[in-house]
Amino acid sequence: MRLRELIAYQDGYAYVGKRFSILGDSISTLAGYNPKGYSVFYSGENCEKTGVRDITDTWWGKVVDCFGGELLVNNSWSGSRVTQLPGSDSLFPSGCSDARTGGLHIRNVMPDVILVYLGINDWANGVPIENKAGVIARRQDNRTFRCAYATMLRKLKANYPNAEIWCCTLCATFMSSKPSFNFPYVYNGSNITAYNQVIEAVAKQYACRVIDLFNSGCYDSIDGTHPNAEGMDMLASSIINETRGEEIRVYYETDECAVSSDTKHDTDEDEHAMSSDTKYDADADYVFLPTDITKLLFDTNQLKLHDAAANQGIELQGDYLAVGRRSDCALQIDNTCISQIHAAFYYEGTGWFVMDKNSLNGTWLNGKKLKQNTKYELFPGDTLNFAKAKEYVFYDDKPREHSEAEARGISEKENEYNVGSVLNNRYKLVKEVGGGGLSTVYLALDTTADKFWAVKLVKTEAAGNARQIRDSVMREAKMMQSFAHPAIPKVADILDTAEYAAIVMEYIEGETLENVVKTHGAQPVESVTAWALQLCDVLGYLHAQNPPVIYRDMKPANIILKPDGNISILDFGIMRTYKPNQKADTACLGTAGFAAPEQYGTSQTDCRSDIYALGMTMYNLCSGIRPTGKSGVSFGTEKDRLNKFFISIIKKCTALNPADRYPSCAALAKDLRIVWETGRAKEKWRRFKT
């Protein structure tokens, strides 16, 4: 929804011109919009990393703008909880403190609406929901979530009796940048649903409005917690949909967005009616949730260090890992020479970097003292020394640029099966023709039958998870053996040895559709429709198996266009069978940009997940644009040459909610045939006229 379309929407609506204040944590911060001295997540490097650079990119800016309101105060503090912080002399900056609940106005200007989005840090830190049975609690034990949330709302109602208070439930996330991330609904022994039940119950008790984000879907994040620009859009849309009871997707014209009051939002605290000179004792700036890495397919952001003094290895997981004396540091070093936050490790896709974070006693890399706030790339064998008090050696068994064999932990020296090798005294590897995930695919000559085959080879001898790899390959081979469809390669032989597992299958001549687009650019709608109809047929065949088989990796790179114009699909390595009673896939697998949102761990995949990927494949083929998974489908000038009905088909296939997609490949094919027949009719008419 754009602003010029908001006029009718806002006309007569109750919140036009109303003043909104925000009470939140890091998700709701932005440099320049929180009181000075507050801890802010969205600033500097994090703004560039997330794409959240100004108010038009934030969820709260979008919400205020959509309602035609004005931003009054954003009292959000990165890392804060609702509950009192253990060991703190004051509640500040907890959400239930006097300073936070009384700091939502500027001088005599009061808010009309207060948006509360707090609690994720309480859940992530395992804050007790309420006192255990048999324990006599103090009258106001604000160390428990239920009591603290009630205290917070009671104070808000007392301070701002005329304001509406909207309480948001805690929302799940996914990571389009890391398909392996699986949102941990139970974390530190705490179930997020239990905290949401408290939010709903207490909000109703104090006559506040509940904004149920949890049931509205999940948002895209960079680290499992903090939304990127697309995630902010999702959050804003969910809040607006919840308040309006309508399905609305919000887009913005930045030159008109987010009307605000005259008073600066990053004013000194004494500009607020209730200032505080208390000692700040905040939680960690942000919480990183653990990722459920599927090592068979996805690269991992696992940091490996060797502690020389203790003679032991250390493995840590995450894109950002703090080093310091603080208890919430990923690498905690209990030594007085070490600063509270001494340094940090950063994982940036290609490898690991280290940065000294203004430490008092310095950080050394291979004997050289590091410049503060400067990133240094790490290589295997590098020695790290923190404050000359603790030393570690960095090691990495995953090289930066690796072959498929190396990705499985096998060095080139160990890889004795290459071009020229003969498998099972029969199949001579002639040339490498591809690879994916765990495997290398070769063109192989059958020296017995004098025939060429494709051999998908996975070497397991030196891999630490050899049994898991072999089981996966054998499962794939046996399932493929049971298929009988012209678009699926036929399996001729299965090889299972101590050194490797291999599938010998029909060799398909042709070119991948990925290469077709790279070479020739965007393809005509007629061609894409013809290919999509064939893909509907083969996917429909898989979905009709008992139990249904979900392919999960539909993309142009896995589709071969044969010389006769027909297509075949390759790489069945991550297909799975649908399990009716299962809530989510056992492993989160797929290709970013093409994988459906539920493949990131939000729910179990089904036939509609393949339909989503097919929609993204059609989008890529007809536009030439590779989807990223962050911005949906956007045709730009391409829409002028494309069939409008065809565009609507792609949008329906790629709906975020599976319920809004085509229910089956047969239903999708029915609409595709309309496009196909329309194209043929137009072609006949052109020929007739000439």
pTM above threshold 0.85: no
Is there a single domain that holds both residue 623 and residue 540?
Answer: yes
Structure-model confidence comparison of residues 121 and 534, the more confident one: 534
Higher-pLDDT residue of 193 and 183 is: 193
The DSSP-derived string for 442-471 is EEEEETTTTEEEEEEEEE-TT-TTHHHHHH
Q: Residue 504: in which H helix or E strand, if any?
A: strand 500-505
User: Where a domain ends, among 438, 472, 505?
Assistant: 505
Q: Which has more pLDDT, 402 or 97?
A: 97
Q: Mean per-residue pLDDT for 596-604?
A: 70
| pLDDT on residue 349 | 54
**How many domains are there within the chain?**
4
Domain of 442 in residue numbering reads as 414-505
Using 50, 70 and 90 to split pLDDT, how confident is the model at 306? confident
Q: Are residues 523 and 461 in the same domain?
A: no
Of 8 and 672, the one with more pLDDT:
672
- Helices 665-689, 607-623: crossing angle, 10 deg rounding: 30
Residue 164's DSSP bridge partners are 113
CATH number of the domain at 425, please.
3.30.200.20
Q: What is the mean pLDDT of residues 441-458?
A: 86
What is the chain's mean pLDDT, rounded?
77
Identify whether residues 479 and 581 lie together within a single domain: no
| 515/488 same-domain check | no
Q: Are residues 540 and 682 in the same domain?
A: yes
Q: Is the pLDDT of residue 266 over 50?
A: no
108 and 214 assigned to the same domain? yes
Task: Read off the pLDDT band of 52 (50, 70, 90).
Answer: very high
Query: What's the confidence (pLDDT) of residue 509?
Result: 82
Residue 466 belongs to some domain of the structure: yes
Q: Would the pLDDT of 641 be above 80?
A: no
Question: Which burial class, exposed, middle or buried, applies to 350 when counting CB atoms under 10 A from its CB (0-12, 13-18, 19+)?
Answer: exposed
Same domain, 529 and 603: yes
Q: Peptide bond preceding 93: is omega within 30 degrees of 0, i.e. cis? A: yes
The domain that contains 603 carries what CATH number? 1.10.510.10
Q: For residue 432, tell me if it sits in a domain.
A: yes
pLDDT digits (tens, 9 = 90+) for 32-48: 898 887 888 898 888 99
pLDDT tens across 495-523, in order? 988 888 889 999 888 888 988 998 888 99
What pLDDT is stored for residue 471 in this prediction?
Answer: 74
Final residue belonging to a domain, choices 325, 359, 394: 394
pLDDT at residue 279 above 50?
A: no
Residue 526 shares a structural domain with residue 485: no
CATH number of the domain where residue 336 is located: 2.60.200.20
Note whether 215 and 342 are same-domain residues.
no
Over pLDDT 90: what percentage of the chain? 34
Last residue of one domain, picked from the residues 482, 505, 528: 505
Which residues of 192-238 form beta strands (DSSP E)? 209-211, 219-220
Query: How confident is the model at residue 682, as a pLDDT?
Result: 52
Please tell me whether residues 226 and 306 are part of one structural domain: no
Quick one: 332 and 481 in the same domain? no
pLDDT for the residue numbered 637 = 61
Domain of residue 219, CATH code: 3.40.50.1110
Instruction: Compute the C-alpha angle 517/520/526, nearest 5°.
Output: 75
- Rounded CA-CA distance 7/4 in Å is 6
H/E stretch holding 145 reads helix 145-159
